[in-house]
């Protein structure tokens, strides 16, 4: 099967996920700074989740560039990734309305970890389909950023129960790590 249908479906699901998240944004109940500050946690959690969704969308696009066809296992791995990403609006809303309490922050981290593991599975299957000597495999190298992300999410989950702000800081740092342009796949894959 060609990859176009999977890409279009993934793009549509991610657009819906973002739409669901934006619908949770609440308008301040007044016109002052105090009312604006009251919705600050909601805006901050939305921003973080939006950045994460953008990172996944961007990396997903680059990952599939050199692939002509997808297998059933790639389709299922892609659905696995989309499942975890589809939970982000729920976790984002819970974390924000609880003002970043320990349990919602821990659950948010679990979803980030599971999405990262799902992406790793998808990446592994795409590399296998492309060939171990493919440009994609060479571009990924040891995938230090991916491994560091998994380690950071795991650490954040461990500390979230007692130090939720440290866990949140780790989530932000991982997002910043991925916002630094990663040109490996761009340079290696045909356009």
Per residue in 124-143, pLDDT (tens digit) is 999 999 887 888 888 888 89
Lowest mean pLDDT among 36-45, 64-73, 130-139, 156-165: 130-139
Residue, of 57 and 135, whose pLDDT is higher: 57
Neighbours of 136 (CB within 10 A): 24
Residue that has been written with the tokens 């932000």 in this structure: 172
Percentage with pLDDT > 90 across the chain: 75
Domain extent, residue 31, equals 4-188
pLDDT score of 43 more than 70 = yes
Structure tokens at 87: 């939970």
pLDDT for the residue 24: 86
pLDDT score of 159 more than 80 = yes
pLDDT score of 15 more than 90 = yes
pLDDT for the residue 162: 97
Query: b/e for 165-185, b at 16 or more Cβ within 10 A?
Result: eebbebbeebbeebeeeeebb
pLDDT score of 191 more than 60 = no
Q: What integer is the mean pLDDT of 40-61? A: 95
Residues with Cβ within 8 Å of 37's Cβ and at least 6 positions away in sequence, in order, are none
pTM: 0.93
Domain count within the chain: 1
């Amino acid at each position: 099967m060609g990859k176009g249908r999977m890409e279009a479906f993934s793009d549509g699901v991610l657009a819906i996920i973002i739409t669901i998240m934006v619908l949770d944004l609440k308008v301040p109940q007044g016109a002052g700074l105090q009312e604006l500050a009251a919705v600050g946690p909601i805006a901050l959690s939305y921003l973080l989740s939006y950045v994460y969704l953008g990172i996944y969308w961007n990396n997903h696009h680059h990952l599939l560039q050199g692939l002509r066809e997808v297998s059933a296992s790639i389709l299922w791995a892609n659905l696995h990734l989309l499942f975890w990403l589809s939970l982000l609006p729920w976790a984002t809303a819970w974390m924000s309305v609880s003002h970043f309490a320990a349990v919602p922050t821990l659950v948010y981290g679990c979803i980030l970890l599971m999405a990262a593991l799902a992406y790793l599975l998808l990446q592994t299957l795409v590399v296998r389909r492309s060939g171990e000597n493919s440009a994609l495999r060479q571009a990924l190298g040891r995938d230090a950023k991916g491994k560091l992300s998994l380690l950071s999410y795991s650490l954040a989950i461990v500390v979230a129960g007692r130090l939720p702000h440290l866990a949140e800081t780790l989530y932000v740092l991982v997002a910043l790590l991925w916002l630094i342009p990663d040109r490996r796949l761009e340079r290696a894959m045909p356009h």
